[in-house]
Chains A and B, each alone.
Chain A
Amino acid sequence: MAHAVISCLHANLAATEAVLCDIDQLGIDTITCLGDLVGYGPQPNEVVELIRARQIPSCQGCWDEDIIEGLNSCECSYPSQLAERRGQRAHHWTAAQLSEENKAFLASLPLSLRRDRLLFVHGSPNSQHEYLLPDMNAFAALERVEAAQADTLFCGHTHRPYVRELREGVIKMRLRRAVANPGPDIEREVDLPVRRIVNAGSVGEPRHGGTSATYVIHHEQDDSVEIREVPYDVERTCQAIVAAGLPPLFAWRLRHGFEYAERADDASHVCER
């Protein structure tokens, strides 16, 4: 059996429809969504209603949370004050557009979903705002998976799809105790488990250097993961962004598939709120 994992739809209806169509054509009927259904894009109600209609299990993303709880993240989420202002504009616009019913749906989403030893989160098991970037410290990455008692951690948030396998880990340690806490001094080697992080990329706001929507398919039979790129009608979304009065830069970066626009400056920083 195969199942699809999608993330970061960002109110981009054309991209969401294209990805769901691709999944349908592959005959996959199990889909998990890692949140950020709204934000940046021009069709928040339509995208939320599509996910609700398809009864796709979803976890709550950072944008979903902020729409419900109010904006209270620190400045870490944006690379500049200008970018932050654009993000705030999109936030207020989205909050005003979303129906109460759709807000209640976003509020009801869990922070994580679990299927046996597979864990599904938006950012990391610690926070919807923490980025697990592909080049983050390998030990820290492993700790996120291990602490969550998972074999494979599916996440999104970075908008860049990847599969990272962490293996052959070992830590050598030397322990010295004080007289007050008796016990022998010891030296040992601790073998670390093999774990995997799968980032589903982004359906509605890709930052992988191209314009295609991305998602992943997990083939349970051989435990392999496939990264899918799906072209969609980018122009349709760009025109809707401009027509909605959202910052034109959101359309510009979708049209060009820019990798860095609006990415958090210090992506390793965990938002302290």
Chain B
Amino acid sequence: MAMWALLSGLRGDLTVYAAVQAELRRQRVDTLFVLGDLIGPEREANALLERLQQPRRGDLQPHCIYGWWEEQLLAERGFRGERRADALRQSGGEAAVAALLQAVDPGHMAWLASLQFGFVELDCALLHGSSTDVGDSLTADTAPLQLLDRLTRMEANRLFTARSGEQFCVELCGGGIESRLRDLEGERQQHQSVPSRKVIGVGSGLHYTLYDPGSDHIAFRRAGGPIHATGRGFV
């Protein structure tokens, strides 16, 4: 079975995306998932968004979901009912909201609004944050009970997350819990074991993750570095 590549946190950086695509061409990867944060306030994201929607020859077709930054933009532009980019406004102020609006041409909004919260492929959930929220930041230090809860909510064996930007793999590999229940029918006891599960942080920008669903092998990668524009137009 061929591998998946999972990346996130491009934040409008076409150079980074091109570097990852170039590297993926040399690997046995057949499916590319971009787990949100395609855009950000730092730079204009239009060129990247165009390439994601219309891949160049040789590019792996990207399967994109929305991330925290898209959620903020969609809210601010009225795609989330009465909600606005409150979280961004709180953390970055009006300047950050203005920069984000500036970074994306309104012509891309319909495509951004069409992106899904996540994918479920085989027994894997591919999300930006977690099953509770796009902004839920799971890290290597998140309490294992919380990780197990996020997996349980999705009924998935593997949860790929991107929000923290970290690359990590937490494997839940044993344990259990006793539960004593008393109701009008009487009392009963139950033991539940911890199922074998993994939460994988896929990284951000040049840091991406390869996953082989056949062997369950995970490899953390860093693309060789930015490819600068050349006279022949490789960007």
A interface with B by C-beta (< 8 Å): 126, 134-135, 137-143, 146-147, 160-181, 183, 189-190, 192, 208-210, 214, 227, 229, 270
Q: Which of A142, A163, A175 lies in contact with B170, CB distance below 8 A?
A: A175
Q: Which of A170, A174, A229 lies in contact with B184, CB distance below 8 A?
A: A229
B215 at the interface (CB under 8 A from A): no
In the complex with contacts A169-B176, A227-B184, A175-B194 CB distance below 8 A: no
Task: Check if B192 sits within 8 Å of A139, measured CB to CB.
Answer: yes
Task: Check if B183 sits within 8 Å of A177, measured CB to CB.
Answer: no
Q: Which residues of A contact B26 (CB under 8 A)?
A: none
**3 smallest A-B Cβ distances: which pairs?**
A178-B167, A178-B220, A172-B174
In the complex with contacts A161-B184, A192-B177, A208-B184, A179-B220 CB distance below 8 A: yes
B interface with A by C-beta (< 8 Å): 132, 140, 143-146, 148-149, 152-153, 166-184, 190, 192, 194, 203, 207, 220, 222
Q: Which residues of B contact A146 (CB under 8 A)?
A: 145
Q: Which residues of A contact B194 (CB under 8 A)?
A: 139, 171-172
Complex Cα–Cα for A170 and B192 (A)? 11
Complex Cα–Cα for A164 and B132 (A)? 24
Complex Cα–Cα for A168 and B146 (A)? 17
| Inter-chain residue pair count (beta carbon < 8 A) | 132
Task: Check if A143 sits within 8 Å of B167, measured CB to CB.
Answer: no
Complex Cα–Cα for A155 and B12 (A)? 45
Nearest chain A residue, comparing its CB with the CB of B209: A178
Nearest chain A residue, comparing its CB with the CB of B143: A190
Task: Check if A162 sits within 8 Å of B182, measured CB to CB.
Answer: yes
Q: Which residues of A contact B222 (CB under 8 A)?
A: 179-180
In the complex with contacts A164-B179, A227-B183, A139-B145 CB distance below 8 A: yes
Shortest beta-carbon distance, A106 to chain B, in Å?
21
Query: Chain B binding site: helix, strand, loop or mixed by DSSP?
Result: strand
Q: Which of B146, B178, B220 lies in contact with A147, CB distance below 8 A?
A: B146
Q: Which residues of B contact A171 (CB under 8 A)?
A: 144-145, 148, 172, 174-175, 194
Task: Check if B177 sits within 8 Å of A172, measured CB to CB.
Answer: no
Task: Check if A170 sits within 8 Å of B181, measured CB to CB.
Answer: no
Nearest chain A residue, comparing its CB with the CB of B171: A174
A-B contact pairs, 22 of them (CB 8 A): A126-B132, A138-B190, A140-B148, A141-B179, A143-B145, A143-B146, A143-B148, A164-B180, A168-B176, A169-B175, A170-B176, A171-B145, A171-B172, A171-B194, A172-B173, A173-B170, A175-B168, A175-B170, A176-B169, A180-B207, A181-B167, A192-B177
Task: Check if B149 sits within 8 Å of A178, measured CB to CB.
Answer: no
Q: Which residues of B contact A209 (CB under 8 A)?
A: 184
Task: Check if A173 sits within 8 Å of B172, measured CB to CB.
Answer: yes
Complex Cα–Cα for A211 and B146 (A)? 38
Q: Which residues of B contact A177 (CB under 8 A)?
A: 140, 166-168
